[in-house]
């Protein structure tokens, strides 16, 4: 059997090693158009920033080690330029321009994705980079070494853009981020992204949201970054991190089916529309397990898992199905960890799927044990069954383990009630007896069963104090730091004695710091005959972060009695 693989990094290299483990006698050739195989793309930003000091540690395998350990013929600087699916051959171009043809029994494509580089005037100027591979990394590192980079601009605030912002800051630059959307990190909802905005600003990063770049011009070594709004900012270095597109040109030219999301179409076994040609990684589209709609998922874990599955199917026949990915991802943004899995509220809205959201803010571990840090969690779920759709978390410690547990539940069709049944390893340095995700489950279950009529920060923002009493049940000291416009303050401890101050014929919208005291207050009012009572999910913490940019200091400090 002769296997050919196109692309030698995440998906391709994993599949190559697994193919060898599955079939000791097979001929395996891996073509890579670049100079390097099996390197850690995910580590590239950290090498640029200096956190990973040794360039060599980025390389997991070399062509030589692949040959020695796996008996795999790795051909770097060999680009596959054409595939003949009927004749079962590929055409390959060497670095010197010469070409040759290689035959196969089974072929795997793992060509990855290519960074988007819009045709903006000045985009090819010196000092403007994209980051995808090792040569890009070397170019950026080299530029940082030989130029005085005091101001860096990152265009595009996805995961890689934010990682680069942090690493350029580490390298000593004052960083500005330009983003067309009104938030960073597209996979998470606006209310969670605002927590990241606050952190970035605290770290001295300038955020230019809802701004798109129109052109770049050069003045000596300075790059002027011009926005469509007319604003211009100066940079010594620019990173374009606008997104990527699946590398489908080769597949398309070979007549392989391209799916509706723009990726290479594959079946459940990761086989393309042409027999004996398989595809994995960033280049493919696959149905989302929750929506059933094809989508592109540019992440390393799916690429690696697919590489393993596809190697089994190539050797033993199509037996192992790929179940799809729900986009579980995580990023370090300075001191923060930001993670998400499944479907955010904005995606559910797009797909017309009915949902509810719940925000909770907990400590990373027991509050009485030193060093507990805030951990915010938003979950989305079916309003009736409680089936979990998605989760997002922002915090400093323990975000990773919570999001992984949630991802497992979501992939297995779990509900908010399952969150309350999870068994957690607990000791004070690690968690609380009620873990943050258990709390999220209790709160969501209360929302579903009507024990806690909840409202969102958006509903609170639209609330009219003329028709509803907005009731802040925090302490007067907490109120000094900010209140919702039009709210009155009655601390929870005084509420039972001051009910006369709250009109019974109007709706009452309650809030506290994070939602717990608001829930207690909701119960007190309902037990005293108030029928239209709702509690703000996530409390003032969610609200103030979400509305902060639109809110002036003047109306932050309103009536506090």
Chain residues that interact with ligand FAD, rule: CB under 6 A: 6-12, 31-34, 41-42, 44-45, 79-80, 110-112, 131-133, 160, 247, 250, 281-283, 298-301, 303
The set of long-range contacts for 432-438, using a CB threshold of 8 Å and a minimum separation of 24, is 432/362, 432/363, 432/365, 432/366, 432/367, 433/366, 435/362, 435/402, 436/360, 436/362, 436/363, 436/364, 436/375, 436/377, 436/398, 436/402, 437/377, 437/402, 437/405, 437/406
**Chain residue at closest Cβ approach to ligand FAD:** 281
Tell the smallest beta-carbon distance from residue 258 to ligand FAD (Å): 15
Nearer to ligand FAD, 246 or 441 (CB): 246
> What's the rounded Cα separation, in Å, for the pair 29 and 102?
9
Report the nearest approach of ligand FAD to the CB of residue 251 (Å).
10
Cβ atoms of residues 512 and 471 within 8 Å: no
**Whether the Cβ atoms of residue 285 and residue 292 lie closer than 8 Å to each other:** no
Q: In whole angstroms, give the CA distance from residue 111 to residue 263.
A: 11
C-alpha 144/C-alpha 127 separation (Å) is 9
Contact 288, 347 (CB under 8 A): no
Nearest to 360 by CA among 464, 432, 463, 465: 432
CA dihedral 524, 526, 532, 538 (to 10 degrees): 50
- Evaluated on CA atoms 434, 440, 443, 448, the torsion sign reads negative
Among the listed residues 196, 202, 204, 152, the one whose alpha carbon sits nearest the alpha carbon of residue 178? 152
Is 303 or 445 the residue whose CB approaches ligand FAD more closely?
303
Nearer to ligand FAD, 327 or 491 (CB): 327
Positive or negative torsion for Cα 470, 474, 477, 480:
negative
Establish whether 42 is a catalytic residue: yes
Of 243 and 374, which has the nearer Cβ to ligand FAD?
A: 243
Q: What is the spatial distance between Cα 179 and Cα 167, in angstroms, rounded to a whole number?
A: 18
The catalytically annotated residue of 42, 479, 512, 560 is 42
> Based on CB atoms, which residue is closest to ligand FAD, 49 or 363?
49
CA distance 70 to 178: 45
The least CB distance from residue 454 to ligand FAD, in Å, is 33
Q: Locate tokens 């059997």: which residue?
A: 1
Q: What minimum distance in Å lies between the beta carbon of 284 and ligand FAD?
A: 8
Task: Output 11 or 398, the one with its CB closest to ligand FAD.
Answer: 11
Q: And the tokens for 69?
A: 């350990």
* Residue whose structure tokens are 């509706």: 260
* Closer residue to ligand FAD in complex, CB, 81/212: 81
Rounded Cα–Cα distance for residues 42 and 45 (Å): 7
Least distance to ligand FAD, CB of residue 71, Å: 20
Q: What are phi and psi of 544, to 5 degrees?
A: -65, -35
Closer residue to ligand FAD, CB minimum distance, 281 or 395: 281
Q: What is the 3-state secondary structure (H, E, C) of 181-199?
A: CCCCCCCCCHHHHHHHHHH
Q: Shortest approach of ligand FAD to residue 428 CB, angstroms?
A: 31
Pick the closest to residue 13 from 56, 69, 54, 52 (CA basis).
Answer: 69
- Least gap, CB of 5 to ligand FAD (angstroms): 9
The two structure tokens encoding residue 222: 């300075």
Give the nearest distance from C-beta 134 to ligand FAD in angstroms: 9
C-alpha to C-alpha distance for 12 and 80, rounded to whole angstroms: 14
**CB of 303 or CB of 443, closer to ligand FAD:** 303
Please identify, using beta-carbon distances, which residue of 2 and 305 lies nearer to ligand FAD.
305
Residues in a beta bridge with 422: none
Sign of the four-CA dihedral 410, 412, 416, 418: negative
Shortest reach from residue 127's CB to ligand FAD, in Å:
19
Neighbours of 299 (CB within 10 A): 18
Least gap, CB of 261 to ligand FAD (angstroms)? 15
* CA 455 – CA 471 distance, rounded (Å): 13
The answer to whether residues 470 and 501 touch, using CB atoms and an 8 Å cutoff, is no
Alpha-carbon torsion, ordered 199, 200, 203, 208, to 10 deg: -140
Q: Catalytic positions, please?
A: 42
């Amino acid at each position: 059997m002769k296997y050919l693989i196109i692309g030698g990094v995440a998906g391709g290299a994993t599949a190559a090693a697994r193919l060898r483990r599955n079939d000791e006698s097979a001929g395996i050739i891996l073509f890579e158009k670049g100079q390097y195989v099996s390197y850690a793309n995910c580590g590239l930003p950290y090498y640029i920033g200096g956190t990973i000091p040794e360039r060599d540690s980025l390389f997991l395998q070399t062509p030589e080690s692949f040959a020695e350990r796996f008996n795999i013929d790795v051909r770097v600087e060999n680009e596959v330029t054409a595939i003949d699916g009927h004749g079962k051959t590929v055409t390959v171009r060497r670095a010197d321009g010469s070409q040759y043809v290689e035959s196969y029994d089974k072929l795997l494509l793992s060509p990855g994705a290519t960074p988007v580089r819009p045709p903006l005037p000045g985009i090819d100027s010196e000092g403007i980079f994209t980051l995808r591979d090792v040569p890009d990394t070397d170019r950026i590192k080299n530029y940082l070494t030989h130029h005085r980079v005091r101001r860096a601009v990152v265009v595009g605030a996805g995961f890689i853009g934010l990682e680069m912002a942090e690493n350029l800051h580490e390298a000593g630059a004052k960083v500005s981020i330009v983003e067309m959307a009104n938030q960073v990190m597209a996979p998470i909802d606006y209310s969670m992204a605002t927590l990241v905005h606050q952190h970035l600003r605290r770290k001295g990063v300038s955020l230019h949201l809802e701004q798109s770049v129109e052109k770049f011009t050069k003045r000596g070594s300075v790059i002027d970054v011009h926005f469509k709004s007319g604003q211009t900012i100066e940079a010594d270095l620019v990173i374009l991190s606008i997104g990527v597109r699946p590398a489908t040109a080769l597949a398309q030219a070979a007549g392989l089916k391209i799916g509706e999301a723009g990726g290479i179409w594959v079946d459940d076994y990761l086989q393309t529309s042409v027999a004996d040609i398989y595809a994995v990684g960033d280049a493919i589209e696959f149905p989302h397990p929750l929506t059933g709609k094809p989508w592109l998922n540019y992440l390393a874990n799916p690429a690696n898992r697919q590489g393993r599955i596809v190697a089994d199917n190539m050797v033993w026949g199509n037996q192992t199905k790929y179940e799809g990915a729900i986009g579980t991802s995580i990023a370090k943004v300075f001191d923060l960890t930001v993670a998400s899995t499944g479907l955010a509220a904005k995606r559910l809205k797009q797909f017309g799927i009915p949902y509810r959201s719940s925000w909770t803010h907990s400590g990373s571990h027991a509050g009485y044990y030193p060093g507990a840090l805030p951990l915010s969690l938003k979950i989305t779920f079916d309003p009736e069954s409680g089936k979990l759709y998605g989760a997002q978390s922002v915090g400093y410690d323990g975000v990773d383990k919570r999001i992984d547990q949630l991802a497992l539940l979501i992939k297995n069709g779990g509900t908010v009630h399952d969150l309350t049944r999870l068994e957690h390893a607990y000791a004070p340095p690690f968690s609380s007896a009620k873990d943050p995700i258990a709390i999220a489950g209790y709160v969501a279950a209360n929302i579903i069963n009507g024990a806690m009529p909840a409202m969102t920060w958006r509903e609170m923002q639209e609330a009219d104090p003329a028709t509803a009493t907005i009731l802040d049940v925090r302490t007067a000291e907490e109120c000094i730091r900010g209140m919702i416009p039009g709210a009155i303050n009655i601390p929870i401890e005084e509420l039972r004695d001051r009910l006369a101050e709250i009109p019974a014929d109007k709706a009452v919208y309650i809030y506290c710091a994070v939602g717990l005291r608001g829930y207690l207050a909701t119960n007190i009012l309902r037990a005293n005959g108030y029928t239209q009572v709702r509690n703000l999910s996530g409390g003032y913490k969610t609200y103030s972060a979400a509305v902060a940019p639109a809110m002036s200091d003047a109306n932050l400090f309103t009536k506090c009695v």
